Structure 1
Amino acid sequence: MSPAAARSYPWYYAPLNWLLLGLAHLPLGALYVVADGLYFLLAHGLRYRSRVVRENLRNSFPEKSEAEIQRISRAFYRHFTQLVVEILKLAAIQPAELARRARWVNPELMAGALARQRPVITLGSHMGNWEWILGSGALALPGVMAGVYKPFKNPFVEAFMRRVRTRLGAEAVPMLATLRYLVQHRRGGRNISLLTDQAAGPEDRPYWTTFLHQDTGFYSSAERLAAQFDCAVLYVGIRRLRRGYYEIKFTEMPDAAAVAAAPPGAFPITEAFARQLERDIQASPEQYLWTHRRWKHKRR
């Protein structure tokens, strides 16, 4: 971590910084041993958010038996603990290793959109390893990758995660700076990535739809940004093929023209995103972030 970044948090976090960087320099095989220990600690010892995980799974898959829910829950904790060490590895991973482990299926969709001198919005989710999308995209895709994120309250975590997210060439944009970033780079060949599956509160003007059998509010900022800046829109999906290896694929979404042609109250981009994400979760339910309190808000 650079001296400038180190000065952004209190000195007593320095030992933790050295510990995390030391772990990040271990081979992934060794880190997966750490992940195995974390699995037993979180899933069977601390039972980390186990009530939230099982409630989310039962509500999302009412057709599944309790035995199936338990199986998905265990597989999720395996995935989750491997995800933790994979994100940590981003602090030291070599570009060639990340490129080998995260394969882009159709990068030409991004290249075609940027060639038309339009900003591109990519809509992602807490599926698979979303942090590897940003780093590997900065290596594999044309233009500049920029990920929108919600800043952490803890100053050390904020500084460390910014380093993790930007060390391979991507840019990290705080959520409240999204509009200003697009204004500054509307013709600059930028791809700005939004995690659109977070729980949108009443103040966020959510779009409500049925998602995984539940009334669900989604952030609708993609609609407004696409219309305002004439953006192309792509869904980015990632799935784990086996431990440490992922496949990343774009799917074309409705764009600014579709938003302009939609009737009042329709949100074609967000609705298409919800349906695509729903299909991905149903195909690999253990790879979604079930510890997230996705349905904490209710429609007014």
Structure 2
Amino acid sequence: MQLITYSIVYPLLWLISRLPWKLFYAFSTGIFFLVYYIFRYRKKTVTNNLELVFPEKTPKEIKRICKEFYRHMCDMFLEMIKSISISNDEMMRRFKVTNIDELRRLEGNGENIMVFMAHYASYEWSNVVDIQTDFQAVGIYKKIDNKYFDRLVHKIRARFGSRVVTTKDAMKVITEDQSENTGPYMYGLVSDQSPKIYNAFYWTDFMGVKVPTFIGAEVLARRLDLRTYYLQVEKIKRGYYEATFVPITEDSKNSEEYSIVKKYLRLLEKQIKNKPEYYLWSHKRWKHRNAEIPEGATVD
């Protein structure tokens, strides 16, 4: 059944990826109309999330952010599909790294880095870094149930040189990389999801709400003494982004416990408060806010 689904869907995805840009975004507008007005995909979740973290905003303001979010979400997911066929030159023209010289300096020194990422603006196109540096980018992700679509994710990212590692294998693979000393490596981990309650070891405020937070990227960075950065992606206009590698710490090993993840969250919060429509509000990020905090967990 998985193969049948993939065999039907993939040709459609490929055709969409080949659309000229004007037609591509016209198609995205059509998808937005269906998702927002007809199917109302997770609309209750989106609205509840916005009302929770922005209690000061009026219903009219919440509705505007909600609508603009759905427009952006449709663009973003279709842009992921565009990655199937987009050229290197086009990718670099549409997703620019503002401080690429800093990366080249680190690369020249043979330094390995951990990059905290977020579901903000465009995170899939960040593999443009692979085209412009000699870093071996390694993306850490949650495995997709459909093995054929999982392979497609690998194929898309491999086009630009990235390796893809599942969260289950991340610790083992990264530790092996460091012991072999074959870098430089750049490890990217989206760290703003909600962990399973049994993995909720650290609770802190995110957008003013106490919730559990992923600490895997910090644990890896501290254990292996990796420089840490936040990939701050801003949407300039439709189909165009700029990314800046914002330093978090140069001394992960000796940093105060949880200080790295706290700084990451503060940087992300600043972006969200500035332009909330570009965050992925359809995720149930705050679902554990009223849960009982497990015994032994750290609460900040």
TM-score (norm 1): 0.91
8 Å contact from structure 1 (residues 200, 206) kept in 2: no
Structure 2 counterpart of 1:268: 259
8 Å contact from structure 1 (residues 28, 89) kept in 2: no
Distance 1:89 1:191 in 2: 24
- Residue 22 of structure 1 deviates from its aligned partner by 1.7
Map 1:104-183 to 2 at 5 A.
104-134=97-127, 136-183=128-175
Structure 2 counterpart of 1:204: 199
- Residue 68 of structure 1 deviates from its aligned partner by 0.4
- Residue 171 of structure 1 deviates from its aligned partner by 1.2
Distance 1:12 1:215 in 2: 40
Flag as ranges the 4+ runs of structure 1 deviating above 4 A: none
Q: Which runs of 5+ in 1 are unaligned?
A: 1-8
Distance 1:299 1:115 in 2: 48
Structure 2 counterpart of 1:230: 225
- Residue 146 of structure 1 deviates from its aligned partner by 1.2
Distance 1:12 1:205 in 2: 35
Structure 2 counterpart of 1:25: 18
Map 1:179-190 to 2 at 5 A.
179-186=171-178, 187=181, 188-190=183-185
Alpha-carbon displacement from aligned partner over 1:128-164 (angstroms, at most 9, x marks no partner): 0110112x11112331111100011122321222222
- Residue 216 of structure 1 deviates from its aligned partner by 2.1
Distance 1:45 1:12, change over 3 A: closer
How many residues are matched? 288
Distance 1:286 1:261, change over 3 A: closer
- Pick the aligned partner of 1:103 from 96, 99, 105: 96
8 Å contact from structure 2 (residues 221, 252) kept in 1: no
Q: Which runs of 5+ in 2 are unaligned?
A: 294-300
Distance 1:156 1:166 in 2: 15
- Pick the aligned partner of 2:287 from 278, 296, 300: 296
- Pick the aligned partner of 2:247 from 228, 246, 252: 252
- Residue 261 of structure 1 deviates from its aligned partner by 4.6
- Residue 280 of structure 1 deviates from its aligned partner by 0.8
Distance 2:247 2:266 in 1: 13
Distance 1:246 1:12, change over 3 A: closer
Identity %: 28
**RMSD between aligned alpha carbons?**
1.7
Distance 1:171 1:66, change over 3 A: same
Structure 2 counterpart of 1:6: none
